[in-house]
Amino acid sequence: MRATTLVLKNISRRKGRSILNSIGLILAIAVIVATFTISSSMETHIGEEVEKYGPNIVVTPDTQSISIPYGNVMVGRSTLQENHLTKLSEIENAENIRTISPKLFGTAMVEGENVLLVGLNADSEVYLKVWWEVTGELPVEDSNEAMMGSEIMSALDLSIGSTVTINDSEFKVVAALNETGSNDDYTVFLPLHVAQGLLGMDGEISLVDIGALCSTCPVEVIAEQITDAIPDVRATPVKQAVETRIKMVEQAANFSLMLASVVMVAGCAGIMNTMVSSVHQRRREIGVFMSLGADNTYIYKIFLFEAVILGLVGGVLGSALGVLSSMIMGPLVLSTPIIIQDIPVFSIPLSIAISVVACLVASLYPTWRATKIDPVSALKAI
């Protein structure tokens, strides 16, 4: 029989009471684990949105002759070479680039009207511009298919399936872009290479919208890498609402960790109280141990081991409660389902360690008091 066996036997006969006394600690640990879990799940979630939140880097030719405003940038006549885009896969943070959408701008005669023409890869563009609502099938590359903005559709009295003449070529309208309230509503969209042919600008593009995602590196860094990698271009980072949201999540997490530390202090007070009363209730037993030859080291050993056990049990129960409550509360409060994978790997061992350390610290004073017990008066007390 070892000291540890003795402690375990002693604790196991007052399981209920020990757990009851550890409730403050358990709650604190639960708040910590839930905070880690919910905030990390929100970060992943926002990360997923970032991917589709729109372009966050715009690549344009370095020398601009400003003529047409398009979104945030002014698009000029100068172009960049489409084949230079292969360099994008060579930059240091290449794996953070999720979507590349090159575009060529121009004007064309459509049914006798001079309109804005954009050549693009429809799939990438629709992926980047989550706010776009498209009816019909997206135009396929190298085909004579067109997508039209809502205003131009109604101005020319066209519908999906209509045939339209653009610069003397026949195109089939396959898709309609619903109203966006931007230039896009007045634009004709053609597959990139078809548009290049139509405009006599083979291999040229006006700008590239890029969707990059990186939680550890700022888009500025990626933009700089692109500017350096491709000759005569400028890559401009576009500030996103997403970054503000990530900041908000961080602030919320900091707040709830602060809350957790307050609960933790209360939890420690609870543990201290438990240990003080444990020492008091066991005065007689401590007296017996001393009479049998236990020294202070032994007293420290049994009470601090008891603290470790309390800490471990509190940490495990608290973590379980934290995971459980974040799984229940996540969908209710944040409308994000929380899955096991959302729990940051470090959070549970870290929380258990915090719990154990807290219990040890809270037990030092009560244990010191235990060593000061006078065995004779402890044994005489009735």
Determine if 332 is a binding residue for another protein (CB under 8 A).
Answer: no
Determine if 15 is a binding residue for another protein (CB under 8 A).
Answer: no
Q: Which is nearer to another protein, 287 or 366 (CB)?
A: 287
In the three-class reduction of DSSP (H, G, I as helix; E, B as strand; rest coil), residue 69 is classed as: strand
Q: Which stretch binds another protein (CB under 8 A): 156-164, 178-186, 220-228, 374-382?
A: 374-382
Nearest approach, Cβ of residue 294 and another protein (Å): 6
Tokens of 191: 């597959």
Tokens of 171: 């195109």
- The site string for another protein over 159-188 (x = CB under 8 A, - otherwise) reads ------------------------------
- The site string for another protein over 123-162 (x = CB under 8 A, - otherwise) reads ----------------------------------------
Q: Which is nearer to another protein, 13 or 161 (CB)?
A: 13
Q: Which is nearer to another protein, 14 or 77 (CB)?
A: 14
d(CA 35, CA 14): 31
Positions 265 through 284 that interact with another protein (CB under 8 A) = 284
d(CA 162, CA 155): 14
Determine if 375 is a binding residue for another protein (CB under 8 A).
Answer: yes
Q: Can you tell me which of 63, 169, 296, 341 binds another protein, judged by CB under 8 A?
A: 296
Render 328-361 in DSSP notation, one character per residue: HHIIIIIS----GGGS-TTHHHHHHHHHHHHHHH
* Nearest-10 Cα torsion for 134, 140, 141, 143: -120
d(CA 359, CA 362): 5
Question: 338, 322, 146, 130: which is closest to 241 by C-alpha?
Answer: 130
Q: Which is nearer to another protein, 15 or 77 (CB)?
A: 15
In the three-class reduction of DSSP (H, G, I as helix; E, B as strand; rest coil), residue 61 is classed as: strand
User: Which stretches of the chain bind another protein, using CB under 8 A?
Assistant: 1-3, 6, 9-10, 12-13, 284-285, 288-298, 375-376, 379-380
